[in-house]
Amino acid sequence: MTQTMQPLASFGPEARRRIRGVLTDIDDTLTTEGKLTPEAYDALGRLQAAGFLVVPITGRPAGWCDHIARMWPVDAVVGENGAFYFRYDAKARKLEKRFLDDEAARAEKRARLQRLGQTILAQVPGAALASDQLYRESDLAIDFCEDVPPLPRAEVDRIVALFEAAGCTAKISSIHVNGWFGDYDKLGMSRRLFQEVFAIDLDREREAFVYAGDSPNDQPMFAYFPHAVGVANVRDFTDRLKDKPRYVTPSRGGAGFAELAAALLAARAGS
């Protein structure tokens, strides 16, 4: 679904009033320059307090998502680009975990990915394993600009090609190339989460949800949700985006997410 991105102001009040939930990427969507800003975190809390379902959809690892599901003002989290969802049941005081692959399959794939990672690092000087790799269950994250000097775009594409040559799915985020064995993505696990946990058929109700993101690995979500929103830095990837969000916020990163939250909250309040 190739389309022209419109300013957030084009997201009309009637459409905003029908929104029931917000799904959002984390890196460079909630965060700004690698930090979760107070205004972005506050926006999450205000959305949830107002009755919106709030679900981060991220490429970050299982270890981080355990913390996010327990500690953040969210209703669930999808992690590692769709390998699982976690949800904290406050009444039962229990973290619910739902993986696509069982433990044995994850262990076998991790071993294959570890070997592949060594190959990629040997062939792409300057790349590194992501600092959060230790906490991952299902994918391999290659850092091209988070904790290493930014690599040229051709080298990022080289990482993708090496993943794909090994039979992996590979996706580019704003900081990593993530690769995994399997054909899942953020959208597939989001649909599963909403059906299994919230009894919501996203295929029928997608117009009642917003997705916020910023980079190429968000494209399945941009294409699926009629009210997808990119924070302003999504424009950095315009030439890599076949499927673009419908709307773009005025500001980058967490400030842009806060602008989206304010627009939704204002519509719900009737202003």
3-56 residue pLDDT tens: 789 999 999 999 999 999 999 999 999 999 999 999 999 999 999 999 999 999
Q: How far apart are alpha carbons 13 and 34 in whole angstroms? A: 32
The predicted pLDDT at position 270 comes to 80
Over residues 95-102, the mean pLDDT reads 97
Q: Is the model's pLDDT at 94 over the cut of 70? A: yes
Query: What is the C-alpha separation between 226 and 208, in angstroms, rounded?
Result: 9
Res. 77: pLDDT tops 70: yes
CATH architecture, domain 103-180: Alpha-Beta Complex (3.90)
> Distance between CA atoms of 76 and 53, rounded to whole angstroms?
9
Q: Domain 15-100+184-269 carries which CATH code? A: 3.40.50.1000
What pLDDT band is residue 259 in, cutting at 50, 70 and 90?
Answer: very high
pLDDT of 132 over the 90 cut? yes
Looking at every residue in the chain, the average pLDDT score rounds to 96
**Residue 2 predicted with pLDDT over 80:** no
The per-residue pLDDT for range 231-241, each reduced to its tens digit, is 999 999 999 89
| Nearest in space to 126 (alpha carbons), one of 148, 106, 147, 141 | 148
| Tens digit of each residue's pLDDT (9 = 90 or more) over 181-199 | 999 999 999 999 999 999 9
Stretch 52-67: mean pLDDT: 98
At residue 4, the pLDDT reads 86
Instruction: Give me the residue label for tokens 């994250």.
Output: 141
Question: Which pTM was predicted?
Answer: 0.94
Burial class (CB in 10 A: 0-12, 13-18, 19+), 22: buried
Question: What residue ranges do the domains of the chain occupy?
Answer: 15-100+184-269, 103-180
Residue 217 has pLDDT above 70, yes or no: yes
User: For residue 271, what pLDDT is reported?
Assistant: 58
CA–CA distance, 260 with 192 (Å, rounded to integer): 25
pLDDT recorded at residue 23:
98
pLDDT above 70 (res 242): yes
